[in-house]
Structure 1
Amino acid sequence: MTSSTCASLAPELPAEDPPRRSMDTPPSAHALQIDRFSPEDEADGWQNKPSDTSRLLDAQPDAEAVPSFHEEAGAIWGMGWQVSVTTFCRISLSTISTAFLGRIGSTELAASALANVWTGGVQILIFGFAVSVCTLCGQAYGAKNYRLVGVWLQLALIFLVLLSVPVMVSFFYVDRILSVVTDEQQVLALADVYARYLAPSVLPQAIYCALRQYLQAQEIVRPATIISIASVAVSLGSNYVFIYGCGGLPGLGFIGAPIAQTVSSIFQPTALVIYAFWYKGYHKKTWFGFDLRACLQWERVRTFAFLSAGMTINLALDEWVYNVISALAGSLGAWNLAANSILFNLWGLIFGVYWGFGLPTQVRVANFLGANRPAAAKRTLQVGFVLGGITAFVSAWLTYLFREPLAGFFTHDPVVVEAITSTMPIFCTAVFVSGLHVIMSAVVEAMSLATTLVIITTVGSWVVMLPASYLMGLQWGGGLHGLWWGSLWGETVKFTLMALALWHIDWREMARRAVIQSEGDVLTEEELEEDVLLRSELVLPSTPTMAGTTPVLAILSTPPRIHHHHHHLPTNDSAKRNLLRSNSYGSVNTLHNINREQ
């Protein structure tokens, strides 16, 4: 989910047993729809709804069966611990390079963190175009226009190759670009070297992301999961070999870390192509070879560029605030920058734990609302909030309790260790509040209130968090503590606004809208668990230099539903258009659920 103003491709739905659509289908048949509709507009055109929807809308919510607290807690826990383990393992990839660099030296760790301020931020411009593949390919696949699925991938690859060139060139000027952040020449010089050796990883990462989204759009997620796990081993091994050496191969020290990341980046798309395409042949249904004339049709180029630009803007708004805060840490000196980098890595790992309860809560709330059971959905919010809150509190408390061993795992520099441990009370409080906010935002996402979520995130991050961090950290002399006080204020504002939004929610109205959007498509308990586990495999990007992926980005890039099994479809054109809008209403990165073949 990135924004309620996302774009949705609306291909003409084929009739029963249609002939295969030609590559030259008029682009106007794939017109782009923009979500600018009120809840009342969403209801238009649904007079001829399937019987399941009519039955659900006519049901009496007052008579619904509401699960007990114990029953709902058991259901959420049964899925939550699996999601926590999966997400934690995926995020742990981001800590590998940080741990290796921290053991080389604090200056080296600070240099890599400073380089990532630019390299990570500018790569958002590429990943927005790669992620849009999921939307466009998913919608074409849902409409059974299999040839168009491959066409969108071709167009994405062309864009990614062209965009990667200026991004890689910018990596060779990091010292000049980031000289406005710090005047420590040694750190700037090392950051420049780090970025230059990291430049070859840009294109492989972008291609891997596009290929993952291409397979994900067809509900093929296992290959990427396997390769992500294998990438952890590759990253560990390559970091050790290139930094310290092995056998007769001498170690390269600091430059071994970016080289290891480049090796991991090249491994991922290579392994995916070999396993998923060459060995398994997952592409055969939707890939008919390169056809420049088909993929470079102006309407298709415009559609892809418009949608990708919107995704890129939203990803940038969500991610860049943390890059700016890291840049502020850079102005405080190498030791504070290194300490801040380690704290961000710890935050990501803790997020992986409590998000295990956010994701099942989101899915179950959405399903209860789709079944016109608002009271049960509200109970799920209550239980999920309690479980997630307890998990966030315990995680924060354990992090504080073991603050010295955790800091020592990343670095042996006593100055950096002291900076980390002294900041831990503020950091752990921010982590706890963030956990509460994440659970609530998951429920808001389940209601498809994308605009509400984006507004709250923007206000909390850009209007409160960033100015507060700047004032407390730099202007008022608070240093690293001040930066994290600003983060705590930002998370508190987001939590407060989210709580107020949910406090004023009309649950029956949300259930009515959900029934219309889902067409009475309600998952069973078994399908709910399958849906949650599939989504846990897609929740985060798994490329090495996306290590700074934040909890906000993780939520905003999570599809609202992976499992699809519509049994009744609208037959009139108005209903089809409204369904297309409702599918994209809560997420750009969603899989189209019309006529999807399993």
Structure 2
Amino acid sequence: MAGGGDGQGGTSSSSHELSGRLEGILADREVPWARRASKAAMIELRLLAPIAAPAVVVYVLNNVLSISTQIFSGHLGNLELAASSLGNNGIQVFAYGLMLGMGSAVETLCGQAYGAHRYEMLGIYLQRSTILLVAVGVPLSVMYAFSEPILVFLGESPEIAKAAAVFVYGLIPQVFAYAANFPIQKFLQAQSIVAPSAYISAATLAVHLLLGWLVVYRLGMGLLGASLVLSLSWWIIAAAQFLYIVTSERCRRTWTGLSCRAFSGLPEFLKLSTASAVMLCLETWYFQILILIAGLLDNPQLALDSLTVCMTLAGWVFMISIGFNAAASVRVGNELGAGHPRAAAFSVVVVTALSFVITLAMAVVFLVFRDYLSYIFTEGETVARAVSDLCPLLATTLILNGIQPVLSGNMDWDARWHMHADAYLVLDHF
């Protein structure tokens, strides 16, 4: 079990001990399965909680940044809500899925390197990933700059497309914040260092809400101001996490400074990063497709407004599952690295069950308050009725998303572990 580097020797030792006990309990065939499962579940929860809780907080709070931005925009008017939805969910989510997926390669490689005590390689992988993601950010920025003609070409309303383009222009800096943030986030998660990211996200959210209110309502900068504040908030998160890495004793062995070695092995790293991005991109892009299709309906503003409310809530709950996905990836990687296959498989079962129970509870809550959900984002009884009608489908989506990301993430992790072993050896050579 990864302990988090220097300054965590006691924690690491305790985690190793618990991990060994967990494997031993699961391997003891003389004890009935029910007793073994109950004992193992208690141990797994002790190992999982310090990773899963902060990881869920990080992803949820980061998603709330986008949600709050849409709320600020929505209270400017229904057109602004539709525009921010089209820009945020129709354009920005493309970059989010691609960047997060490519950044996940760092989690695989850093997890292996950390388990093999090749601590210096973690910093190299972080830098390689950042270089690649910055390069990918350049064509994405060009796409953002031409968002209005792209949206019109796709059949969106010219009025909404024009307003959405203004919003998207302010998101161009966010693309490069993603390029810095996701490799840093995965670098820390591979070492089971998650809590600092949660504290940083919480503090940034408070700053974001204050700046958003000031810029949108007091300074009157509208959609452009809202998206610029969102970009600034993501840069604050990335910069604060990097500052933590370079100053913390916990990362002293894994971050040894900038290195020219980061520029070697880039083609192999690109291949692995691309493979890592495929599954997560498919999971996030379907949100984007739904939003784009909604803009083609007879009443695009109402369709976008109502679907925005549902998809935003679904995306928020989806982040809970993504947080469990990240925690499960750390647990599975650490157990496989320690030679504990039973514990790795059992961890997936426990995480999936937890995610399912939480998302089921959220689905029930949304159904109970189905008639009032839309008022969080915008005024208007028409939108409220449309959202209420969509809520049964929303609840079904939440329940399915409660288990799918965790399972697919771990299958993807296992595939990357086996399919890219040769790539890892090449990368490790550099």
TM-score range, shorter chain: 0.7 to 0.9
Is it true that 1:267 corresponds to 2:236 in the alignment?
Answer: yes
Judged with a 3 Å threshold, the aligned counterparts in structure 2 of structure 1 residues 160 and 64 are, in CA distance, closer, same or farther, namely same
Q: Where does the alignment leave 5 or more consecutive residues of structure 1 unmatched?
A: 1-51, 451-555, 560-580, 593-598
State the partner residue of 1:143.
116
Residues in 1 aligned to 2:199 and 2:351: alpha-carbon distance in whole angstroms: 32
Confirm whether residue 252 of structure 1 aligns to residue 221 of structure 2: yes
Q: Distance in 1 between matches of 2:240 and 2:199?
A: 10
AA paired with 1:321?
Y
State the distance in 1 between where 2:215 and 2:53 align. Answer: 31
Relative to 1, partners in 2 of residues 1:192 and 1:417: Cα closer, same or farther, differing over 3 Å?
Answer: same
For 2:397 and 2:340, the matched residues in 1 are separated by: 34
C-alpha distance in 2 between matches for 1:142 and 1:383 = 21
Cα deviation digits, residues 408-448 of structure 1 (max 9, x gap): 1111133222211122233224434544x54xx75x569x6
* 2:276–2:416 contact (8 Å) kept in structure 1: no
Judged with a 3 Å threshold, the aligned counterparts in structure 2 of structure 1 residues 301 and 430 are, in CA distance, closer, same or farther, namely: closer
Relative to its length, the structure with more helix (as a share) is 2
Q: Paired residue for 1:531?
A: none
Of the three residues 20, 29, 32, the one matched with 1:61 is 29
Q: Does 1:314 align with 2:282?
A: no
Provide the rounded CA distance (Å) in 1 between the counterparts of 2:186 and 2:121.
15
Do structure 1's residue 204 and structure 2's residue 177 form an aligned pair? yes
- 2:248 matched to 1:280? yes
Retained in 2: the 8 A contact 1:80–1:359? no
Q: Give 1:214 shift.
A: 2.5
Structure 1: how far apart are the matches of 2:79 and 2:225? 15
- For 1:175-194, what aligned pairs fall within 5 Å after superposition? 175-194=148-167
Secondary structure (helix, strand or coil) at the match of 2:117 reads coil
Cα separation, 2, equivalents of 1:147 and 1:372: 29
Return the match for 2:370 from 400, 403, 408. 403
Deviation at 1:398, TM superposition (A): 2.4
Larger gyration radius, structure 1 or structure 2: 1
Residues 111, 424 of structure 1: alpha-carbon distance in 2 compared, 3 angstrom cutoff: same
The residue number in structure 2 matching 1:419 is 386
CA distance in 1, matches of 2:400, 2:80: 32
Task: Name 2:76's counterpart in structure 1.
Answer: 104
Provide the TM-score with structure 2 as the length reference: 0.75
Which whole-Å CA distance do the structure 2 matches of 1:138 and 1:58 have between them?
A: 23
1:162 paired with 2:135, answer: yes
Q: Quote the Cα distance in structure 2 between the aligned partners of 1:131 and 1:147.
A: 19
Q: Which amino acid aligns with 2:87?
A: A
Q: Which moved more, 1:263-272 or 1:344-353?
A: 344-353
Query: Aligned to 2:371, what secondary structure does the other structure show?
Result: helix
CA deviation string 1:524-549 (max 9, x = no partner): xxxxxxxxxxxxxxxxxxxxxxxxxx
Structure 2 CA distance for partners of 1:585 and 1:349, relative to 1, 3 Å: same
Please give the per-residue CA displacement for 1:539-571, whole angstroms capped at 9, x wherever unaligned: xxxxxxxxxxxxxxxxx6xx7xxxxxxxxxxxx
User: Following TM superposition, by how much is the alpha carbon of 1:325 offset from its aligned partner in structure 2, in angstroms?
Assistant: 1.5
Number of equivalent positions: 391
CA RMSD of aligned residues (A): 4.4
Aligned match of 1:233: 206
- Distance (whole Å) between structure 1 residues aligned to residue 221 and residue 87 of structure 2: 19
Show the counterpart of 1:468: none
Gaps in structure 2 of 5+ consecutive residues: 1-19, 426-430
Give the CA deviation at 1:357: 9.0
Q: Once the 2 structures are TM-superposed, how far is the Cα of residue 109 of structure 1 from its aligned partner?
A: 1.3
In structure 2, C-alpha distance between the alignment counterparts of 1:82 and 1:95, rounded to whole Å: 24
Q: Which moved more, 1:162-171 or 1:424-433?
A: 424-433
Change (3 A) 1:182 1:445: closer
